[in-house]
Chain A
Amino acid sequence: QLQLQESGPGLVKPSETLSLTCTVSGGSISSSSYYWVWIRQPPGKGLEWIGSIYYGGRTFYNPSLKSRLTISGDTSKNQFSLKLTSVTAADTAVYYCARERYNWNDFDYWGQGTLVTVSS
């Protein structure tokens, strides 16, 4: 059974960098059948697709976040990571990592989510 687990600081100061890691077990991030995705949800609001990483390290970003965003993968640890720079209170959200099926573009497995609060 595939499992995804987010980890990282729950509190980040404004203007600093938000860094999260997703550890995948029960499946390989090296598979060409899936994208590995970050999605966020501000408190009381809807879901926002942040970006993804695909086989071979190709990355795809939400245009609204692209200038501040880096997604990377570590196949040796079966992890992928998110870095979002120059954060503000608007970046406060529950951050989810998920698996997206390549041919169907649906998100079939999700992590439990981790709340990141941007505050001084």
Chain B
Amino acid sequence: QSALTQPASVSGSPGQSITISCTGTSSDVGSYNLVSWYQQHPGKAPKLMISEVSKRPSGVSNRFSGSKSGNTASLTISGLQPEDEADYYCSSYAGSSTSLFGGGTKLTVL
């Protein structure tokens, strides 16, 4: 099992939109619609932002959206706000009740 691949960093200005990719394989991301996304602020535990590729848990802003095509999932944040600056991680079910995380992406709001 290898970690899912995410860009190390992305940036955007307030009000803009950004997209973070998460690339896996046909054994994980490509095989299951069970990709989730997490936001982590420094020194804090991760917070679930997107479940099952594109579903937002209660309380998560509709500025956050998810999608998937083939072996790559994506998280889009629209209308960037300063408080969106954080690390973002994707996760995918990988079969046999195991999971994989991406390496994480640092989002900078300029």
Contacts and interface: CB of A to CB of B under 8 A. Distances in A.
Contact of A46 (B32, B57, B97, B102): B102
Contact of A62 (B1, B32, B52, B91): B1
Interface in B86-110: 89, 91, 93, 96-104
A62 B98 contact: yes
Interface string A85-120: 000000000001000110011111011110000000
Interface in B12-48: 32, 34, 36, 38, 45-48
A48 interface: yes
Given A62-B1, A64-B1, A105 B48 contact: no
Interface of A: 35, 37, 39, 45-49, 52, 54, 60, 62-64, 96, 100-101, 104-108, 110-113
B36 A106 contact: yes
A110 B1 contact: no
Given A46-B103, A111-B45, A113-B45, A106 B98 contact: no
A47 B98 contact: no
13 contacts: A39-B101, A46-B89, A47-B38, A49-B100, A60-B98, A64-B1, A100-B99, A105-B32, A107-B46, A107-B48, A110-B45, A110-B47, A113-B45
A48 B101 contact: yes
Contact of B101 (A46, A54, A105, A112): A46
B63 to A, nearest CB: 19
Interface string B54-97: 00010000000000000000000000000000000101010011
